[in-house]
Structure 1
Amino acid sequence: MPLLTIHHVTTYRYRQPVFLGEHRIMMRPREAFDQHLLSARLEIAPEPCELRWLHDVFGNSVAVAVFDRRTDSLIVTSEATLEHAPLGQGQVDVEPYARLFPFTYSSEDMPDLLRSIERQYHDPGRVLDNWARTFVKNDGTTGTIPMLTQMATSVRRDFTYVPRHEKGTQSPLETLTKRQGTCRDFAVLMIEAVRALGFAARFVSGYVYNPSPSEGVVGGGNTHAWVRIFLPGSGWVEFDPTNGIIGNRGLIRVAVARDAYQALPLSGTWFGFPASFLGMDITVDVHRADSSQYPSSVHGAINSRLAGPSGK
């Protein structure tokens, strides 16, 4: 089970001091059976006058920072160490009734899945619907996992990954037209495509790393985005269309949401002259941690350290 440390730094720069409004920070990895958080540290400069934590409607950990001074920069540093249990495609076990597409979710699950099935983007010409249907066989032998796998791997094969640091996400129709985009664009495309087929799907924001030197992945050095699809028998299963990953191998979840705008790693406001903003820099480093610092006696227990710039 890999022991990983994530170092994530976001820096905002301003031409002259500005007032900072409230900021929401989602950089703390989620605790789950397949990723176990051992330590977490959050540093903010300038130091906020108030820092509080909450769980949002999806159960994500959110830090809310309030400031009372002017500043010409904002630096948010998150460091976390966790045990990660990679699960591959072979470990996805779907209930017999859902192994072939189409199928219907159970009456017990459907009420809680409905909002994750709802489409978020208009498709008046049914362009996205038609693209999604190209992965469905006409003879009734469409395997659920093979179909979703083919969709994810086809995005990796047929679309060009182009990093983009500006805020916002392309619509699925834009991505289909341009045949290129960021990881979040590809995630939104696949979410809307599988929703068009009746699947419940959610947007995931987190980090990606290379499980082994022989596995090349893109999207590192920054936050990453992918998809979770609900499959009876296995629950929420990861699909990363940017890298063609099925399962969570190389993927570390931070935030899960119905829509991309609900899973922003850092969001907030500032007040000053419009030309004051100079730019933003993001660096993310994921590497194997020194296991000697985390003896086996503490594995399985959460030791979360939340500290401001002073280390208090």
Structure 2
Amino acid sequence: MPFLTIAHSTRYRYRQPVAFGEHRIMVRPRESYDQRLIEARLDITPEPVELRWLHDVFGNSVAVARFDGRARELRFDSVVRMEHSPMAEGSVEIEAYARAFPFTYASEDMPDLLRSIERQHVDPQRVVDAWARGFVSDHRPTDTLGMLADMTATIRRDFTYAPRYEQGTQTPIETLRKRQGTCRDYAVLMMEAARALGFAARFVSGYVYSPSRGEGRVGGGNTHAWVRIFLPGSGWVEFDPTNGIVGNSGLIRVAVARDPMQAVPLSGSWSGFPGSDAGMTVDIHVHLDEDSAAVPATAITAIRPPSRETCRHVDPHRL
């Protein structure tokens, strides 16, 4: 049961003082039986005139900051110490009626799962449907967990991981066509494929770390994205197609949502003269307290010249 320290710093720089609008920050990990926060601190420079916390419609912790005055730099520093309880694929228990696919969710669960089953992307040629159906056996009962694990492993094995620093995601059809993408692209593809088969699936934003020196993880040094799928008997189970992980080993949940745009780690606005934006730097370090090894961290700078005097800046799922 490892103890982790997560340091997440986002820094916006400007060539001359600008004013800041309201900012929403989602960097505080969700507390649960497998994630226990010991300490959480959020420092913002310049200091906001108001900082309040709320739970959004999905139960994610959101900080809302309001500012007064102007500055040439805006910085958010989050430091969290927590206890994590990894669950491996072998720990996933599924009710007898749902162990073989297809199955129908219980009537008492269905009303609350429907929005997570609905498709979010248009697929007129049923490209995603056909790809998803390829994991279903035509000749024998299809093991539910085995099928989803196979889908997870296939994306990890057959697709090329390609970092992209612009915000937003590819459509699932684009990802299938290109056979490459970022962690958020893979998460959206698997989420839509699972929904095509009738599963309830949600998008997850958080952090990834290597549980041991021998286990490499893609996506360290930045926020990470994966999928949760509802399986009767175990509830919401993690699937990370970027790393081929089933279960939450090495995965720290921060935000869970129906759509990626509902789980953006940091968003807000600024106003000033065009050309003031001097770029953004994101640094994330995940340190295993019981081990001196730390996940390699990456500092990324993104420079996006604004086209208007009032612009939005967003810290998206970077990889």
Q: Assess same fold via TM > 0.5.
A: yes
Comparing 135-144 with 90-99, which one deviates more in the overlay?
135-144
Q: TM-score, normalised by structure 2?
A: 0.90
Residue 217 (1) aligns with residue 217 (2):
yes
Which residue is 2:39 aligned to?
39
- Aligned-partner residue type, residue 227 of structure 1: V
Which residue is 1:163 aligned to?
163
Which residue is 2:69 aligned to?
69
Which residue is 1:173 aligned to?
173
Residue 247 (1) aligns with residue 263 (2):
no
Q: 1 CA distance for matches of 2:13 and 2:181?
A: 26
The answer as to whether partners of 1:44 and 1:77 remain within 8 angstroms in 2 is yes
Q: 2 CA distance for matches of 1:171 and 1:220?
A: 23
Q: 2 CA distance for matches of 1:273 and 1:98?
A: 58
Q: 2 CA distance for matches of 1:277 and 1:168?
A: 20
5 Å-filtered alignment, 1:135-284, equals 135-284=135-284
- Aligned-partner residue type, residue 167 of structure 1: Q
The answer as to whether partners of 2:2 and 2:290 remain within 8 angstroms in 1 is no
Task: After TM superposition, give the deviation of residue 163 of structure 1 in Å.
Answer: 1.6
Question: C-alpha offsets along residues 10-59 of structure 1, whole Å, 9 cap, x if unaligned?
Answer: 11122221111100000001100001100000000111111000000110
Which residue is 1:286 aligned to?
286
Q: Can you give the 5+ residue segments of structure 1 that lack an aligned partner in the other structure?
A: 292-312
Question: C-alpha offsets along residues 45-82 of structure 1, whole Å, 9 cap, x if unaligned?
Answer: 11111100000011000000000011112110100001
Q: 2 CA distance for matches of 1:278 and 1:162?
A: 25
Q: 2 CA distance for matches of 1:96 and 1:74?
A: 53
Task: After TM superposition, give the deviation of residue 283 of structure 1 in Å.
Answer: 1.0
Aligned length: 291
Task: After TM superposition, give the deviation of residue 279 of structure 1 in Å.
Answer: 1.6
Q: Percent identity?
A: 69
Q: 2 CA distance for matches of 1:274 and 1:192?
A: 39
Which residue is 1:306 aligned to?
none
Q: TM-score, normalised by structure 1?
A: 0.92
The answer as to whether partners of 1:25 and 1:62 remain within 8 angstroms in 2 is yes
Q: Which runs of 4+ in 1 moved over 4 A?
A: none
Comparing 11-20 with 270-279, which one deviates more in the overlay?
270-279
- Aligned-partner residue type, residue 148 of structure 1: L
The answer as to whether partners of 1:101 and 1:140 remain within 8 angstroms in 2 is no
Output the aligned Cα RMSD.
Answer: 1.1
5 Å-filtered alignment, 1:43-58, equals 43-58=43-58
Q: 1 CA distance for matches of 2:15 and 2:118?
A: 43
5 Å-filtered alignment, 1:3-42, equals 3-42=3-42
5 Å-filtered alignment, 1:82-101, equals 82-101=82-101
The answer as to whether partners of 1:204 and 1:226 remain within 8 angstroms in 2 is yes
Q: 2 CA distance for matches of 1:217 and 1:224?
A: 11
The answer as to whether partners of 1:40 and 1:80 remain within 8 angstroms in 2 is yes
Comparing 250-259 with 267-276, which one deviates more in the overlay?
267-276
Secondary structure in structure 1 of the residue aligned to 2:16:
strand
Q: 1 CA distance for matches of 2:254 and 2:285?
A: 15
Secondary structure in structure 2 of the residue aligned to 1:184:
helix
Q: Can you give the 5+ residue segments of structure 2 that lack an aligned partner in the other structure?
A: 292-319
Question: C-alpha offsets along residues 146-168 of structure 1, whole Å, 9 cap, x if unaligned?
Answer: 10001011111111111222211
Q: Structure 1 residues 290 and 131 mapped into 2: Cα distance closer, same or farther (>3 Å)?
A: closer
Q: 2 CA distance for matches of 1:39 and 1:121?
A: 39
Q: 2 CA distance for matches of 1:83 and 1:257?
A: 23
Secondary structure in structure 1 of the residue aligned to 2:22:
strand
